[in-house]
Amino acid sequence: MEYLLQLAASPAAWVALSTLIVMEIVLGIDNLIFISILTNKLPLKNRQKARRIGIGMALILRLGLLSTIAFIVQLTAPVIEILGHALSWKDMILIAGGLFLLWKATSEIHHSMDPAPEDPKSATSTVTLGFAAAIGQILMLDMVFSIDSIITAVGMTEHLPIMVIAVVVSVLVMLFAADPLAKFINDNPTVVMLALGFLIMIGMTLIAEGFGAHVPKGYVYAAMAFSATVEVLNILRRNRHQRLAAEA
């Protein structure tokens, strides 16, 4: 208790907490986009449930990883060398996650451009399998993003309570933002393609970082913000034209 009171009275601790919360929220954007795209493919009645399960698992994974900080730190130690590059477990997890994102985003783009016909006779089994598959894929990417998130937290502060609060706050923000973001993506089909492009860029970034090439996150998020701003302007322009056409 005395330790917590000392942290609460420390201005440096509050600065570290605020900075880490912002960092964790920014890192959670990638996770949230992926969850929104996947759950929007489910039947309407299952979407919110799948989003809450996915975000809940993200919280459990992050808190579980925080309880094994000593193990997480060891994940950065080199364990294998490939083509002259020393790779740690963290690197290999990032590379695997990046490859999965590239595969998933590319297959989703292909499906959007050339959707496969559905068999109405197998609709029930497809829905059940789709829900299970969505949860499985969300869990896989939750693990990748959680490890990245916790290693970032460990690098920014040594105080476990600060890490726990930052992680819980960031996941709560994800929970409140999940439904509006998913609805926005669902209501604006062109945003889906933009979000899939973001996932490809994030996947390439994860692979590059896994092989030791540092990619400043600021550049990545600046590109995403610029692209999103252009898309919002296009949506506003399109809605205005539709409204004027309806009034004519």
With bands split at pLDDT 50, 70 and 90, how would you rate the model's confidence at 22? confident
Number of domains in the chain: 1
DSSP state of 192: H
Q: Judge whether 172 lies within some domain.
A: yes
Q: Is 67 helix (H, G, I), strand (E, B) or coil?
A: coil
Q: Judge whether 226 lies within some domain.
A: no
Q: Judge whether 246 lies within some domain.
A: no
pLDDT higher than 50, residue 127? no
Q: Which two tokens stand for residue 47?
A: 């979407």
Q: Judge whether 25 lies within some domain.
A: yes
pTM of the model: 0.68
Residue 167: per-residue pLDDT: 84
Q: Judge whether 1 lies within some domain.
A: no
Residue 6: per-residue pLDDT: 67
Residue 178: per-residue pLDDT: 87
What number is the average pLDDT over the span 75-94?
80
Q: Judge whether 232 lies within some domain.
A: no
3 state SS for 199-239: HHHHHHHHHHHHCCCCCCHHHHHHHHHHHHHHHHHHHHHHH
pLDDT higher than 70, residue 106? yes
Q: Judge whether 93 lies within some domain.
A: yes
What residue ranges in the chain does DSSP mark as E strands?
78-82, 85-88
Q: Judge whether 161 lies within some domain.
A: yes
| Cα four-point dihedral sign 56, 59, 65, 68 | negative
Q: Domain residues for 171? A: 14-215
